[in-house]
Every structure is written in C-alpha cells, then in structure tokens.
Amino acid sequence: MRDPYEILGVERTADEAAIRAAYRKLAKKHHPDVNPGQADAAARFGEISSAYDLLSDKEKRGKFDRGEIDAEGHEVHTQRQYYRDAEGHEHYDAAGGFSQEDLEAFFSQAFGGAGRRSDWGASGNPRRGRDAQYSLTVSFVDAAVGVTRRLTLPDGKTLDVRIPAGTEDGHVLRLRGQGGAGWNGAPAGDALIEIAVAPDPRFHRDGDDIITDVPVTLKEAVLGTSLEVPTVHGPVRLAVPAGSGTGTRLRLRGKGIRQGHQFVQLQVVLPPGDEPELAEFLKTWTPRSTHSPREGS
C-alpha cells in the first residue's frame, strides 16, 4: 500500500481533526454506493479506509512514523542493540521493534512476575487494554433504517457492527471488550468505530424527517397524477393533486427515520424542446387570478 499520508492527502504533521476531515471527504467521494459501475471504486475506497485506520490510531501512527511498522501495519524487523549507559541502566536502541511494554510482557511470560526488571519500571498491577479506533462507511439508507455490517480489521479479524436506525454521520459506536487485550487479568479495551454516512442524491435529512425532490412535468402539475417515488423503506405510489406547483410539499407519513416522515417537494420542469401549441395557448390564455407570484418578494 502507498504511504497513508499520501493517500489521504495530508501532511505528516496533520492533527487528528485534519486526518478525520480528509478521510470523510474522500470516503464520501469514493464510496462504491455513490460510484455504481466503476470497477476501481471499491479498491480505492478500501485503500482510503486502510490509511485512515492506521493514522487514526495514535499507537499505530506512532509506530509507522518511527518505522516500526509498514503502511499495512506489519512489523518491520530490524537489528536492535542492547547496551548499558554510564549510570548502569540497561537500554535498547531506538532502531527496532520492541517497546518497554513489549519487554515487560516478554519477561513476564518467560520468568513470571519476578522476572521483570525494576530497571524498566515494570509493574504487576492489572491494566485495562487500549481502546482501538476504526472507521466504517455506510450508505444513507443503511444508516436510516439500521443494518449490521462486517468490519474487517487490519489483522484479518472481523467484527459484526450493528448500525442503529437513525445513525448520523460522525457518530461513534463503542463495542465493549473488542479492543486491545488487558494486562494481568484486567478487562480488554473497547473498539471505537466512527460511522461515515455516504450521501445519497435522492435524499437529504432534516432531523428524523427525509426530504426528496421529485421533478414533474407541467401537464402532471396542472392535471395531477400518480407516480412512484423512492423512500428509504422502498418505492411507494404518491398521488400528486391537480394544480400543484414547484415547492409543493407532500407528506409520506411514517416513511422517514424512526418515527419521522418523508416530504416530497415537487419541481415543475418545462418541456426540453419547443412546444408551439403550448406557446400559442398561453398567448391567448387569461388566468382567473391576476395575482403575481412576485408580489411581496
């Protein structure tokens, strides 16, 4: 995989907020749901997600910046030198793959609690595991109605993540006990999963209500019609009353998020080509109302 900083288009000094903003912008642009038919969309989206998984985790990012792991999260094995400083303390140089915690774990497993050296500041007290941070992008519809999605972790393990109905963009889900392992019998950390909701050109959200713009012809607006409109629960038939105009809002009760509704806003669209008969009719047509739509504006 390429350098994760290059993939997200951020500097190596970027803070967490900048990395998160860059990821969400790219994830929404390259999500497969908004790029149907593009064979490389899934691969590009996967690359973006992997880069964010690494850089959003402080521990992994630190290891990558120090050259201890590669862009895919694999350890980089290098030669480390053991030495004793002028004050008689043991050290390992900074070039390699073991941290102080790694050394504590090694000596604990090899020699038991008594095998840890006080020179390394080891402690036998139980310690809760670290929280792990991940990201998951879902479609607008899935976030609205709720769904279970499988998240594949960098080490190949998987988590089944339940997305509650009505989940908003940027919401963080906590899966207890799915983070790093605890120390000396302490509980494991949690998995913190930030949800990015991909945009859908058919819908936009207003609280628990959903707004949908639907184009209608001039004839349909004047005479009324019945047409099929999309909802997050599937398509439904909608009766458009005669005399509707642009901006007319029709409610679909209970078709929003949770107990919300969906509102269909009509957009009257004129014919794309010349309509000489319609033009001739309008020249001689005298409307009953003389009210101007521009009055009061």
Structural tokens at position 101: 């915690």
Beta strands in 113-157 (DSSP E): 132-138, 147-152
Would you call 241 helix, strand, or coil by DSSP? coil
Compute the distance between CA of residue 174 and CA of residue 129 in angstroms, rounded to an integer: 14
Residues 141 and 112 in one domain: no
Structural tokens at position 226: 């019945």
Residue 239 pLDDT class (50, 70, 90 cuts) = very high
Whether this model's pTM surpasses 0.95: no
H/E stretch holding 19 reads: helix 16-30
Residues 219 and 251 in one domain: yes
**Residue 280 included in any domain:** yes
Residues 244 and 194 in one domain: no
Residue 217 pLDDT class (50, 70, 90 cuts) = very high
Q: Considering only CA atoms, which of 63, 58, 65 is closest in space to residue 19?
A: 58
Examine the fold and report which residue of 144, 173, 199 is the final residue of a domain before the chain moves on: 199
Residues 220 and 275 in one domain: yes
Predicted confidence at residue 225, as pLDDT, reads 96
Residue 68 near residue 76 (C-beta atoms within 8 A): yes
Residues 226 and 183 in one domain: no
Q: Which tens digit of pLDDT belongs to each residue from 4-57? A: 999 999 999 999 989 989 998 898 888 877 787 787 877 888 888 888 988 988
DSSP 51-111: HHHHHTSHHHHHHHHTTSB-TTS-B------EEE-TTS-EEE-TTSS--HHHHHHHHHHHH
User: Residue 76 CB: number of other CB atoms within 10 A?
Assistant: 13
For the chain, what percent of residues have pLDDT higher than 90? 46
**Residue 168 included in any domain:** yes
Compute the distance between CA of residue 249 and CA of residue 266 in angstroms, rounded to an integer: 6
Domain count, the chain: 3
Per-chain mean pLDDT for the chain: 83
Quote the domain boundaries for residue 276. 204-284
- CATH number, residue 262: 2.60.260.20
The residues that bridge with 211 in the sheet, in sequence order, are: 204, 263
- Please name the residues in contact with 50: beta carbons below 8 A apart, sequence gap of 6 or more: 1, 4, 72, 154
Examine the fold and report which residue of 60, 91, 120 is the final residue of a domain before the chain moves on: 120
Residues 136 and 106 in one domain: no
Residues 132 and 195 in one domain: yes
Mean pLDDT of 86-95: 47
Residue 269 pLDDT class (50, 70, 90 cuts) = very high
Examine the fold and report which residue of 120, 141, 173 is the final residue of a domain before the chain moves on: 120
